[in-house]
Structure 1
Amino acid sequence: MIHRRSFLKTTGGAGALAALGDLGFFAHLPAVSAAEARMEPGKVQFHPDIEPLVRLLEDTPRERVLEEVAAKIQKGVSYREVLAALLLAGVRDIQPRPVGFKFHAVLVVNSAHLASLASPDGDRWLPIFWAIDQFKSSQAADVKEGDWTMAPVDEAAVPPSHRARQAFIEAMDAWDEAAADAAVVGFARTASADELFEVFCRYGARDFRDIGHKAIYVANSFRTLEVIGWHHAEPVLRSLAYALLERGGAEVNPAKDDLPPDRPFRENIRLVKDVRKDWLAGRPDIHVGLELLGPIRAGNAQDAGGLALKLLNRGVAPRSVFEALFLGAGELLMREPGILSLHAMTFTNAMHYAWHRVHNDETRRLLLLQNAAFLPLFRRKAQSEGTRLDTLEPLTPEAKGEEAIAEIFADVGKDRLVAARKVLGHLKQSPDPAPLAQAARRLIFLKGTNSHDYKFSSAVLEDSERMAPGERDRLLAASMFYLKGAGEKDNELVGRARAALGRS
């Protein structure tokens, strides 16, 4: 455990916060070549350049996989190749239903990558090593649950290129799994990444089954494909389409019934037509945007979507609406800390990414209304009382500068509300949020124990960078209700990775 005094000791000297924990042993790792591997029938195959590395991840026991990957890295395997193999191994070996639980091994790949990007050079491999270990854990869980494996596509059923897009849309609208699996292959082979995303993001936001994980999978899979290369897209999009058709155990076909998870989408499909034509030219006004916190607190999805529409038509900029949604998600986390409320944040992160990525105006309007309508659904109670993030009062830390950050993360383990208030107090005195974010990431590396630690931290730290300072500070304050504190027990992965690299 790292207490405040030892926290300060380990962060002393130049770049003190960046030196939290001794993770520099990753710095010497070079950038992997693939070896030949036997192809197996009955299992979808990947490009020959990546298949051997995928098989190494699949076939190596969990207690040896870090050593084997470290040896490959020492021989020249690149970061991008390891990231690609990690995503593809999860796609082939882990059933994407439900979209969550063991499938977090796939959902977390982009989050681990974002953590790597935002880290000092010496730390870059640690999130990826953690994700490899997570894959092995999820792979074992999948074996116990039936050992699902993605099979080769039925090539005879793949529609011709001129029919692929429409065939995919028709299959998804009908919730037809077999038709969608064949159609998505034709679609992936003929369409651009932008064309594919325009279609997939609507289905990711279509229903509230799996508490937002469908939208999260759309965003994270496309973001990872942008890094590893679109020649890997076909199996990833097959997995994604299969995940998006998950019915949550319902026997009935959602296309033929009126089910609660589908109602916000059907309502908002109607409402998008009423958004003013010049809605993108609205004025930033967070004070008006914060009216959205009312229906989010009351737990009313229809009211939240309707109010978002009214705000846009009153001339409030989409940015201000999104900032209100981020703060609404943060307040949910403060009032009801836990798995459900943290997904309000990771879902909004995915929807915000999708909103910026798409080009179709109607789809952008729909995503914003859907985000507003879904947020009240991330609470356990119809209504809940508690702390209001928009009126949270700052508390000045006793210490200054970097020592104040150490004080905040020490308080996380004792009183998260106090830590949240001290974030506001600290950022009022020292407006640069970067040292706070760096310390938060280091503590995830050292103490993170599950995929949600990486998913949440990557989402909230990314989103906070895009917000106006006042709203950014409140979002960072709310994040103290899930981020790791300095006094929590270290995980075992750092030691395992150090040992693996020492023997490779």
Structure 2
Amino acid sequence: MRSASVAGASLGSWELLRGITPAAEDAKVRPDAVRLRPEIEPVVRWIEETPREAVFEKAVAELKSGLSYRSLLGGLFLAGVRNIQPRPVGFKFHAVMVINSAHLLGQSAPTSQRLLPMFWALDNFKSSQAKDVEEGDWTLGSVDEGRVPKPHRAKEDFVRAMEAWDVDGADVAVAGLCRGSGAAEAMEPFWRMAVRDQRDIGHKPIFAAQSWRTLQAIGWEHAEPVLRSLAYGLLDLRGDRPGPIGPYEENLRNAGEIGADWQVGRPDPDATVALLTMLREATPEAASAEVVKLLKSGIDPGSIWDAVLLFSSELMMRNPGIIAIHATTAANSLHYIYGASGDDTTRKLALLQAVGWQPLYRERIKSPNPIAIDAIPEDAPVSTDLEAVQGIFEAVGKDRERAAAETVSFLSRGGSPRELFDAASRMIFLKGTDSHDYKYGAAVWEEALHTTDPKWRPRLAAAAMYHLPGASRPDSPLMIRAREAVANVLG
């Protein structure tokens, strides 16, 4: 029998959401704001204009009246794109970057809980919207139509502007690119620009990957304002001189040394361990150069990706916190770009940068804790039934090291990864209080469930126990308020 402590709380009024979980009135748009497509504009407007304290009731009422999940997801994402400044790429802008993570976690949840991440994201947007107003009330404006290039010139103009860190030139070129190119073609130069710069602790590839993934869910027809916001964020220099942070120039040279058959190699767990060990001390340049050697020797790129994610997870074990979170979420986004890009050089760069960035995170953490992810014992006395999952999340709130060891034993002995993932998601839904709970949770579980060598899955999952909320943490006040709103409207 599944314990209530694993579920986080008795479902209670959440069951009422089953009846409205889907498979407005119009309003004038301020003249200086970008106008969205007419089918989504009314949804965006009520999200923008409804007071924070009433937004849950409004959302439930709209869903009850037939609002589709896709429209709610799209309206929430586009409200953030229009109203939240993507500079710096982080902080309040997480209201935009977290949407896809919330969506992914929600899609795997039972029907009664599938909307919970959207309730959380609604409140998060209203909080960020208020902060943006306090900081100057930035709004994504209309594009300068007179400067939008012809379709055949748009990609070249965009690349030239991005390489010159030319904000205005990139903005008009994005519009031409979206209007004259297919989705994959339009995104290709964005992938290259996203992987070049580690500034903002890796948020730039996160923003790019989250934008593309959310557009896949809500429709490419909404791409133009999203990609204009993305370009503006990618060009943020944080007051520095133009140029990328991290080993990008070195890795451009490294990419040129990698042969054409670099993706045809043999999986090698020993190579994974050797690179993992190297990352504990190497410079960014030395670590990236080692990738070239491994690929030339015939190692499968997947074994290199395993080392990257194992090391980023080890950083979480050494010193849980914001830097360790981004070591994983940035690696996850670079891994996604590696799979999404159709350009051979960009794919090489995504892998090289993923390796080269890890020492940058390591140095910012500077943890004296010598804990090693490949040294977690596998002999914790746990079963492989649901009660073991309950015990793991009870341990999370008391002894994270024990929770990690029990996770390794549970999965190594044949316990269900899906049951563990589902329990982790419920912890995030009901007890999470921060965007990073969603971003990190979605990223680490995606990597754990799809790791190249399944032998590493238990260890990636174990490292997550150093950050995930445990069963003893109270339900978040926000979810309590959302539950009350559901009961008020549907009860």
TM-score (norm 1): 0.93
**Residue in 2 that maps onto 1:386:** 370
Of stretches 387-396 and 116-125 in structure 1, the one that deviates more from structure 2 is 387-396
* 1:351 to 2:331 alignment: no
* 1:497 to 2:482 alignment: yes
**Residue in 1 that maps onto 2:442:** 458
Partners of 1:248 and 1:390 lie apart in 2 by: 37
The alpha carbon displacement at 1:383 in A equals 7.2
**Residue in 1 that maps onto 2:17:** 26
* Offset from partner CA, 1:202-229 (integer Å, 9 cap, x none): 1111111001100000000000001101
| Structure 1: 5+ residue stretches without partners | 1-6, 255-260
The alpha carbon displacement at 1:370 in A equals 0.8
| Structure 2: 5+ residue stretches without partners | none
**Residue in 2 that maps onto 1:420:** 404
Residues 18 and 317 of structure 1: is their aligned pair in 2 closer, same or farther, counting only changes over 3 Å?
farther
**Residue in 2 that maps onto 1:238:** 228
Among 291, 300, 317, which residue is 2:283 paired with? Answer: 300
**Residue in 2 that maps onto 1:484:** 469
| 1:157-168 matched pairs, under 5 angstroms | 157-168=147-158
In the alignment, residue 311 of structure 2 is paired with which amino acid?
A: G
Residues 102 and 381 of structure 1: is their aligned pair in 2 closer, same or farther, counting only changes over 3 Å?
closer
* 1:271 to 2:254 alignment: yes
Give the conservation status (yes or no) of the 8 Å contact 2:44–2:79: yes
Kindly report structure 1 stretches of 4+ aligned residues shifted beyond 3 Å: 16-23, 381-385, 397-400
**Residue in 1 that maps onto 2:418:** 434
Give the conservation status (yes or no) of the 8 Å contact 1:299–1:382: no
Aligned residues: 486
SS of 1:262 mapped into structure 2: coil
Partners of 1:30 and 1:366 lie apart in 2 by: 41
Give the conservation status (yes or no) of the 8 Å contact 1:289–1:311: no
**Residue in 2 that maps onto 1:410:** 394
The alpha carbon displacement at 1:299 in A equals 5.2
Partners of 2:111 and 2:9 lie apart in 1 by: 11
Partners of 2:458 and 2:153 lie apart in 1 by: 49
Partners of 1:382 and 1:442 lie apart in 2 by: 32
The alpha carbon displacement at 1:18 in A equals 10
In the alignment, residue 121 of structure 2 is paired with which amino acid?
A: A
**RMSD across aligned positions (CA):** 1.8
Partners of 1:346 and 1:441 lie apart in 2 by: 16
Among 291, 298, 301, which residue is 2:274 paired with? Answer: 291
The alpha carbon displacement at 1:394 in A equals 2.1
The alpha carbon displacement at 1:501 in A equals 2.1
Among 103, 108, 112, which residue is 1:113 paired with? Answer: 103
**Residue in 1 that maps onto 2:455:** 470
* Offset from partner CA, 1:58-87 (integer Å, 9 cap, x none): 111100011111111000000000000001
* Offset from partner CA, 1:95-142 (integer Å, 9 cap, x none): 001000000000000001001111111111110111011000011111
**Residue in 1 that maps onto 2:40:** 50
In the alignment, residue 378 of structure 1 is paired with which amino acid?
A: Y
Give the conservation status (yes or no) of the 8 Å contact 1:298–1:382: no
SS of 1:386 mapped into structure 2: coil
TM-score (norm 2): 0.95
**Residue in 1 that maps onto 2:85:** 95
Identity %: 46
SS of 1:96 mapped into structure 2: coil
SS of 1:166 mapped into structure 2: helix
**Residue in 2 that maps onto 1:66:** 56
In the alignment, residue 242 of structure 2 is paired with which amino acid?
A: N
The alpha carbon displacement at 1:498 in A equals 2.1
